[in-house]
Amino acid sequence: MCGRYSLTSPEDAMRLLFDLPAGVTGAWAQPRFNIAPSQIAPVVRQGSDSGGQELVGMIWGLLPGWSRGPDGGAGQINARCETAAEKPTFRAAYRQRRCLVPSDGFYEWQKIEGGKQPYWISRIDGEPFVFAGLWETWSDGQGAETVSFTILTTAAALALRPIHHRMPVILRKQDHADWLDPNTMPSPELFAPEQAPRLRARPVSHRVNSPRNDDAACLQPARIIPAQGSLF
């Protein structure tokens, strides 16, 4: 699964990943080191007017339009790519409301003796990347709306399996337009772990365990690297 992620250089990431109008990233210039469920994060979706891409803020944790809404429990932060097209919670969004979630790293926790060790997983070349996402709008019927998203997951790449058996679906840049296009259905090849860029996993501080902590200290290397946690 993916329960936390980072976007530490938003303006640089937006410029590298998307064809957005100049200056559109200003609202998202604040680095994020520990994005957590129920928080608002930047998401790119297909524009409703021009048909191009637009950057919006959405709550992480998808709420289907038919649900009881924010007071009915937490939204779904992840959707399995193998079943999202059929699951009632995700199938409408899978067909018509797909989105791109910019990131430069995600966290996963490895079970070790005495607890869990968090890892920050990023590209070897340090470049940002994009998760495949789905989004929905929930309305209370009186004009108030909640726009939310979820991140698709797939089987973990071989090198990451000692940490966890799942990872986010990471899209290649050339696949962004097809993923956003509601007139096409995604190819299963988009979800293959082999499509992801080369990744590295670095053990980091337990500071990331609390969503209240959102600063560079979350990425500090762990003081003691567990013997079974060294992958590269």
The residues annotated as belonging to the active site are 2, 108
At 110 the three-state DSSP class reads: strand
In a 10 Å sphere around its CB, with 0-12 CB exposed, 13-18 middle and 19+ buried, how is residue 216 labelled? exposed
DSSP structure class, residue 174: G
Measure the CA–CA gap between 21 and 110, rounded to whole angstroms: 40
Phi first, then psi: what are they for 115, rounded to 5°? 155, -145
Residues 123, 128, 130, 136, Cα dihedral to 10°? 130
Measure the CA–CA gap between 27 and 43, rounded to whole angstroms: 12
Cβ atoms 175, 134 nearer than 8 A? no
Q: Degrees (nearest 5) of the Cα angle 121, 126, 153?
A: 40
